[in-house]
Structure 1
Amino acid sequence: MKRRVDGVTCGGCALSAAGATAAPSLWLSMPRTQRHLGGGFENEGMDLTVLFTELPLVILGGAFLPLLVFTALVRLTARRRPRPE
């Protein structure tokens, strides 16, 4: 089966890239994350292991969640349209 690159494919990739960059910036703006990264009073509660545990999951979730939603929407709308013969 030969696949072609079209607007839907490029849109999915762009959405995935946007999610992978937006999710960490949102994660960094949360008060809990700022506290763990040294924003607490006199470094109270500072825990840098969140960079190794939470950050990769945030990036993966930010990349894959929009892509999964986009794929589901494309498949649902493709079923409703009649196929040209």
Structure 2
Amino acid sequence: MDLRDQRNAVTCGGCVLSTAGAVTALFLWASSDRTHRHLGGGFEGEGTDYGAVLTELPLVALAGAALPAFVTTLVAVLLGRASDRHG
């Protein structure tokens, strides 16, 4: 496996990890007690805070996708440096 194939595999893995991270973060956010308090709280929707959804949901999805992407980029850089030293 040459360097280009190795980088393509790492890049593909990074996309998969970012998608899984975003989905996992959204699932954990949606199932938390804090979110249930904001969205389902009171009688006939009393106490429902949709502002929490509008502000938190995009940030949770972004953080869930960005963290695995950052780690994968770091691994790709380290693999590139390691292969440059040995190749």
TM-score range, shorter chain: 0.7 to 0.9
Deviation, structure 1 residue 19 = 1.0
Deviation, structure 1 residue 21 = 1.1
**Any idea what the Cα deviations from partners look like across 1:41-79, whole Å, max 9, x if unmatched?**
535642011121110111111111111012113323443
Query: In the alignment, residue 69 of structure 2 is paired with which amino acid?
Result: L
Normalising by structure 1, what TM-score? 0.77
Percentage identity across paired residues of the two chains? 51
Equivalent residue, structure 2, for 1:13 = 15
| More helix by percentage | 2
Distance 1:78 1:29 in 2: 39
Equivalent residue, structure 2, for 1:24 = 26
Normalising by structure 2, what TM-score? 0.76
Q: How many residues align?
A: 81
Distance 1:73 1:8 in 2: 8
* Structure 1 residue runs without a partner (length 5+): none
Q: Secondary structure at the match of 1:74?
A: helix
Distance 1:17 1:33 in 2: 22
Query: In the alignment, residue 55 of structure 1 is paired with which amino acid?
Result: L
**Any idea what the Cα deviations from partners look like across 1:11-40, whole Å, max 9, x if unmatched?**
0111111111111101001100111011x3
RMSD value, Cα: 2.2
* Structure 2 residue runs without a partner (length 5+): none
